[in-house]
């Protein structure tokens, strides 16, 4: 009797590439579409599969929890990244999301290197690919932001690289044992090439004549910030006029994305990703769309120009992947870590309701209320992420009832302008709007989230300035992001079926036939595949 043929090995791509565009709202795919080229965003739309209704299911909608949620397949309630920063009541200190005081920098002696995924409580896609290949498959993350590279790459990554703004170099930390305490030679050469310096000496001019930026308002707008402190917010921007020795000005321009692209393509080639029989993983996060968007808002010409330049970056990245790995051998997805609110002053200029919530002023008033009502302003430990943390030791010392204190503060908060609701996770009256309560619960991590949550009305920006804008709310402008897939076996198409950001990871792992990240709460979604 002839022996049975062994089943063929599981069909998988040689390389998985996760791309995050920091602060990209869903509508940016189409607002600028007729000025995009054919090989970037439009290639994703034409050749890829799009989930047109991908939403964040929690808040605060910020960079660190966004990146963590994309790659872990869960929300802050499980993965623990409750904000870019948070207040830890037990330690009585504010903590940065990737802060690791035990870590030692590689390529830097500054605090820029004291970073790791230690605070992340769940595995990532990168971790699962490492596990699935018995750690033969490689996992790398790269971004200008440390949180944009560290959190996606995962705990077991070969390395994550991020930008040290003091030196203009990409750096890492000794968390990544494969580095053996030093940067790879190719990255050392990249750092020494003077690329960052060359961009700092660049003049930012618009790619197109100003009258062709039809999706944007006038070049000089009173609600915009300028990346050059002593210059008005108008083109051109001579970056060397920044007058500082660091490289923040490059980060505040579209050229930081150029540097990220160059570093990512160098990494791809030098680390031989997608070149053997074991599946590899690369995460790339383009950060400068976020910084520019904060300064100029969604209707700034500078923002539109940054996206047009990013479109060229994506085209170059896809061409490199086609050449180095093969068009049918890699699978990539593109999404965003959050959206953005239009600048309130811009909205009001068009008679649309919008306003500011000045946290510092309200926080000072709250401390005065606490002093008058309870006999201590120190009862308020922190006011961050639109959350208030209480000092339990003072509550105990003053013989106060904690629930009564919470209810009293909630009552005071709800009298403040632009506060829609305030509530506590524990010991509060029921919150009457379940969608927001669900989003809060999904974003709540005990010990890192505050005791009392504020929800501002739609169009209300937490800011102390009339210039620029931000994000963080549960509303659609902050939660609705692109979700596009392209490459290996992906059939072109689009669905209007709603999905949540935590669905990306289990969808990917289902396609790869590997286990989902260990804290995953998302649901795999159907993507049509070619035979």
Which active-site residues does the annotation give? 63
CA distances from 83 to 98, 412, 439, 444, 461 (A): 11, 25, 14, 10, 17
356: part of which helix (H) or strand (E)?
strand 355-357
Q: Roughly how many angstroms between the first and final C-alpha of the chain, as a whole number?
A: 32
Nearest CA to 496 among 34, 49, 33? 49
- List Cβ neighbours of 144 (8 Å cut-off, separation of 6 or more): 162, 163, 251, 256, 259, 260, 285, 287, 288
* CA 269/CA 261 separation, integer angstroms: 12
Asked if 482 and 41 count as a contact pair (C-beta separation under 8 A), the reply is no
Residue 495 CB coordination number (10 Å): 16
Helix/strand/coil for 414: coil
* CA 398/CA 417 separation, integer angstroms: 30
Q: Phi and psi dihedrals of 529, rounded to 5?
A: -120, 150
Cα angle value 24/28/33 (rounded, 5°): 140
DSSP 455-469: EEPTTEEE-S-SSS-
Nearest CA to 316 among 249, 377, 265? 265
Q: Is 407 exposed, middle or buried (0-12, 13-18, 19+ CB in 10 A)?
A: middle
Residue 48 CB coordination number (10 Å): 21
Give the alpha-carbon dihedral of 507, 510, 514, 520, to 10 degrees: 40
DSSP 473-531: -SSHHHHEE-EEEEETTBPPEEE---EEGGGHHHHHHHHHTSPPPTT---------B--
Going by DSSP bridges, is the β-strand pair 493-495/49-51 parallel, antiparallel, or unpaired?
Answer: parallel
Asked if 281 and 325 count as a contact pair (C-beta separation under 8 A), the reply is no
* CA 331/CA 419 separation, integer angstroms: 44
Residue 92 CB coordination number (10 Å): 12
């Amino acid at each position: 009797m002839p022996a049975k043929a062994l089943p063929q090995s599981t069909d998988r791509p040689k390389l998985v590439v996760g791309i995050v565009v920091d602060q990209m709202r869903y509508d940016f795919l189409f607002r600028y579409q007729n000025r995009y080229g054919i090989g970037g965003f439009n290639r994703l739309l034409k050749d890829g599969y799009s989930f047109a209704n991908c939403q964040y299911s929690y808040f605060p909608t910020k960079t660190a929890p966004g990146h963590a949620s994309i790659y872990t397949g869960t929300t802050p309630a499980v993965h623990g990244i409750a904000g870019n920063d948070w207040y830890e009541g037990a330690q009585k200190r504010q903590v940065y999301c990737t802060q690791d005081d035990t870590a030692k920098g590689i390529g830097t002696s500054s605090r820029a290197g004291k970073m790791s995924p230690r605070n992340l409580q769940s595995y990532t896609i990168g971790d699962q690919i490492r596990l699935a290949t018995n750690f033969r498959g490689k996992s790398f993350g790269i971004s200008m932001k440390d949180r944009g590279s560290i959190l996606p790459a995962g705990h077991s990554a070969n390395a994550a690289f991020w930008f040290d703004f003091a030196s203009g170099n990409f750096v890492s930390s000794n968390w990544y044992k494969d580095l053996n305490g030093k940067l790879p030679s190719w990255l050392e050469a990249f750092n020494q090439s003077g690329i960052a310096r060359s961009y700092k000496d660049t003049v930012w001019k618009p790619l197109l004549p100003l009258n062709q930026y039809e999706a944007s308002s006038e070049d000089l707008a009173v609600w915009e910030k300028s990346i050059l402190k002593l210059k008005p917010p108008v083109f051109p921007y001579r970056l060397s006029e920044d007058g500082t020795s660091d490289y923040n000005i490059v980060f505040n321009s579209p050229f930081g994305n150029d540097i990220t692209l160059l570093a990512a393509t160098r990494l791809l080639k030098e680390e031989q990703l997608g070149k053997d029989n074991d599946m590899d993983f690369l995460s790339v996060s383009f950060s400068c769309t976020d910084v520019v968007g904060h300064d100029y808002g969604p209707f700034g010409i500078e923002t539109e120009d940054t996206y047009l330049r990013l479109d060229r970056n994506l085209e170059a990245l896809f061409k490199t992947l086609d050449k180095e790995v093969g068009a049918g051998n890699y699978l990539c997805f593109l999404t965003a870590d959050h959206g953005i609110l239009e600048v309130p002053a811009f909205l009001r200029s068009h008679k649309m309701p919008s306003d500011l919530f000045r946290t510092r002023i309200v926080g000072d008033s709250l401390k005065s209320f606490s002093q008058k009502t309870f006999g201590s302003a120190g009862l308020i430990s922190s006011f961050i992420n639109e959350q208030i943390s209480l000092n339990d030791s003072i509550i105990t010392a003053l013989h106060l009832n904690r629930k009564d204190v919470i209810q009293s503060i909630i009552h005071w908060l709800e009298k403040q302008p632009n506060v829609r609701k305030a509530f506590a996770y524990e010991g509060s009256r029921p919150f009457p709007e379940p969608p927001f309560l669900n989003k809060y619960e999904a974003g709540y991590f005990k010990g890192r989230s505050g005791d009392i949550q504020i929800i501002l009305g739609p169009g209300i920006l937490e800011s102390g300035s009339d210039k620029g804008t931000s994000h963080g709310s549960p509303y659609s402008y902050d939660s609705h992001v692109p979700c596009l897939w392209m490459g290996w076996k992906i059939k072109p198409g689009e669905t209007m079926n709603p999905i949540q950001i935590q669905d990306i990871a289990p969808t990917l792992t289902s396609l790869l036939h590997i286990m989902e990240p260990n804290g995953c709460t998302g649901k795999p979604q159907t993507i049509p595949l070619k035979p």
